Structure 1
Amino acid sequence: MDSRLRAVGVGLGLGIAGIGVALVLVLSSGLLLSLAGVTVTPVLSIVLSLLLTQGVAFLGVGYLYLRRRGIPVRSIGIRLPSVKEFGIVIGALVLSFVYLIAVSQLLTATGTEAAENQVTDMAMANPEIVLYLLPGAFLLIGPGEELLFRGVVQNRIREEFTAVPGVIVASAIFAAIHVGSLVASNPSAVLVTIGVLMGPSLILGAIYEYTRNLVVPILVHGTYNSIIFLSLYLVATGAVEQSGNAAATVVAALP
């Protein structure tokens, strides 16, 4: 039991460490730019956040942990997906959006309030931000979050747990870590959003567990986010109505 609690503690600690390092880097860079007389625009803010959070903090914390334990990066599974694995990517995306639409309808029907992701507000107010988020989803968000939370956290927890509980625990940590990026008027909305986020988190964890190829959840994660970002752009620019767009309605499920 102690070893299992230790594994969960390490997994949670790694997630918090990633967020903590990211926060220090983002705040420090913003302060330095301000002292240098540089205006931090919304676009510059989102670019810095992507580079320093997923690109430096998450990848850095994950890599340093693997190096400290003497675990080769290649052992977490980084290879070109096979035809079958590309099929899994497509299937996982379809399942994710079926889930997203179902949750959207359920929340609407029950009048349940969900918290919004901070990225939503920024993208709605400044649609041009999405032009940076789209490539960032594939180059930084997918690789950074999947390496830390699937390649490192999930593998650490799986050392002490069997497949199903291991994936569930790691997915719960991944979902909970997103609480800092949420905006809500009451705590219950945050809990609803964390619950919603468990869906795509479990899918990402399950396909990594099945394929043992980190590139597979990276592709799913990047594509899923980019489709939601594009949906936000269409809503923000008035190309589609928000009420008719499930991805924009439940952007809370943005991992």
Structure 2
Amino acid sequence: MESRTLVTVLRSVLALLSAFLLGVSGLLFGLVLSLIARFLLTLTLGIGLTEPQLLVLSLITIQGIGLPAVAGAYIQFRRHLVPRICEMLEVPDRERFGIGVDVPDLRDLGVSVLGYGTAIGGLVVAAMIISAIVASTGVETGQNQAAEVGMENPEVLLLLIPASFLLIGPGEELLFRGIVQGRIRERFGPISGIVTASVFFAGIHYFALTGGSASGNLVALGGLVIPSLVLGTAYEYTDNIVVPSLIHGAYNATLFSLLYVVVRYSDQLEAAGAATLAPAVGL
């Protein structure tokens, strides 16, 4: 009995550690690719990249390459190596791990629309709560780096709108919903998978915030948990990674569009709009 309990505990710890390490590995791999690309461009071509160009480079290397590459590598590992390892150890092979990918049907599109509306509604509620906390405590919240670059270079925000659908949404959902949430769900069940992966996903955006106090940034990140839960629930319900990718892309594209309007056309609302939207676009 004790040995079975120990095995159960070890498997649970392994599931959590592997899920979190996979998420971090995707980000680190993309970051390393970004640094290598920047070094090569600077060394070989003598190109000094501007902040907007660095942002585009990071989107390509992290969301476009790093996150999907780690997700794909893990799928191949589970598909080809795990059965061999189980055979060598003479233990039963577990259910094959995979990510559901399919062309959205009417139900998937309906879930996408509902999820998008819920995520935006959750953002509004979270923004009001965060504003109340900031007003009562005086903590200072930071700004997402992408939003900060966009506020200084509004034209970049127009580029980030299609990037939300082509790179940010698909890349982040493949790894954090498809792999991280899937790995946790495999061991602990769907609800634990959704909640744990959502908190982890929101938490890693702490490092994308600039400025603000530690407590203020934690408050700001709390607003990302609600849309993260929506994304996780949409994937669990449809078993189609395209659905949360669409919701994620539409959510970010909306915030980038609103931020562009605020920064570009309304000087009076710029400060208020930036304070509300800048942390949220980190999703």
Fold in common (TM above 0.5): yes
Aligned to 1:53: 62
- Larger displacement relative to structure 2 (106-115 or 28-37): 106-115
**2:154 equivalent among 120, 127, 148:** 127
Aligned to 1:146: 173
Unaligned runs of 5+ in 2: 1-8, 81-95
How far apart are the structure 1 equivalents of 2:11 and 2:196?
14
Q: CA deviation at 1:95?
A: 1.1
Under a length normalisation based on structure 1, what TM-score does the superposition of the two structures give? Answer: 0.92
1:107–1:194 distance in 2 versus 1, CA, 3 Å: closer
How far apart are the structure 1 equivalents of 2:215 and 2:258?
26
Q: Is the 8 A contact 2:148 2:278 kept in 1?
A: no
Answering whether residue 40 of structure 2 is matched by residue 32 of structure 1, we say yes
1:82–1:236 distance in 2 versus 1, CA, 3 Å: same
Q: CA deviation at 1:222?
A: 0.4
Mapping of 1:84-123 within 5 angstroms? 84-110=107-133, 111=135, 112-123=139-150
Unaligned runs of 5+ in 1: none
Structure 1 counterpart of 2:124, which letter? I
How far apart are the structure 2 equivalents of 1:39 and 1:250?
30
Answering whether residue 90 of structure 2 is matched by residue 81 of structure 1, we say no
- Larger displacement relative to structure 2 (10-19 or 28-37): 28-37
Flag as ranges the 4+ runs of structure 1 deviating above 6 A.
Answer: none
Structure 2 counterpart of 1:12, which letter? F
Structure 1 or 2, whichever has the larger Rg, is 2
How far apart are the structure 1 equivalents of 2:213 and 2:116?
31
Q: Is the 8 A contact 1:19 1:57 kept in 2?
A: yes
- Larger displacement relative to structure 2 (73-82 or 33-42): 73-82
Aligned to 1:11: 19
Q: CA deviation at 1:115?
A: 2.3
Q: CA deviation at 1:39?
A: 2.1
SS of 2:15's equivalent?
A: helix
- RMSD of aligned Cα (Å): 2.0
**1:230 equivalent among 257, 261, 264:** 257
Aligned to 2:4: none
Q: Is the 8 A contact 2:141 2:216 kept in 1?
A: yes
Aligned residue pairs: how many? 253
Aligned to 1:203: 230
How far apart are the structure 2 equivalents of 1:213 and 1:129?
30
